Amino acid sequence: MGYGSTPYKIRASDINDIVFELNRIFALISDRLDRMEGFSGTVKLYDNVKVNGDLIIDSSVKGFILKDNQNPAHYWRVTMDSTGLFNFDDLGLSFS
């Protein structure tokens, strides 16, 4: 795949142009997500992600990842089992 063949490449080096390009890419992603069943909303580049609807994680092994306030901080994956109980898995110092 060449440089110009994907709409998700950032083609900027100035910080204002990078922010513009990221917002453009998030708009493209948002448009694609809006067409998916069970998701609608606008992805915005802030300190958080806001949606105007449900956020669905359709996986038993993936979930929300939270960072605690310890030093050093650990990352925790939050999932739910089939009985509705939350599970918290310590991912350690990295969430990858």
Between the alpha carbon of residue 57 and those of residues 30, 64, 79, the distances in Å are 16, 8, 9
2: confidence class by pLDDT, cuts 50, 70, 90: very low
The confidence score (pLDDT) of residue 65 equals: 84
Locate the domains of the chain by residue range: 1-54, 57-96
Percent above pLDDT 70 for the chain: 67
pLDDT at position 4 is 47
State the first-to-last Cα distance of the chain, in angstroms, to the nearest integer.
26
Span 20-34, mean pLDDT? 77
Confidence of residue 1 (pLDDT cuts 50, 70, 90): very low
Q: Which two three-digit tokens encode residue 62? A: 């993936």
